[in-house]
Amino acid sequence: MEEISILLLFDVLVGLTLVWLAWQTLSSLDLFRAIVLFIAFGLLMALAWVRLNAPDVALAEATIGAGLTGALFLSALAQLSASTKRKDEENKIENS
């Protein structure tokens, strides 16, 4: 009996934290912060899939969500910051 109530509490916590994390990720103005939050979201989402009895999906979420997209976003951010930096410098040269 108490096992069921512990699991219920676990599920409720995972669900609420997921919604909250999703909100924080979307509303973050700092892109790096949003990426790290997204990685955390992927990890927690995999836990949620496990609890929904879908280990196949959890496995896919773990590989794609927590592993690959994290690295992809971080690389994209590096490219983005390099190109905005270049634009800033060009603007400076034009203005001076």
Which residues of this protein are in contact with another protein, per CB under 8 A?
2-3, 6-7, 9-10, 13-14, 17, 21, 24, 29-33, 35-37, 39-40, 43-44, 46-47, 50, 55-56, 58-60, 62-64, 66-68, 70-72, 74-75, 77-86, 89
CB–CB of 43/13 below 8 Å? no
Element (H, E) at 7: helix 2-27
**Shortest spacing between CB 8 and another protein, in angstroms:** 10
Rounded distance between C-alpha atoms, residue 47 and residue 65, angstroms: 12
Rounded least distance, CB 60 to another protein, Å: 5
Q: Judged by CB, which is closer to another protein: 87, or 95?
A: 87
Distance CA 91, CA 4 (A): 62
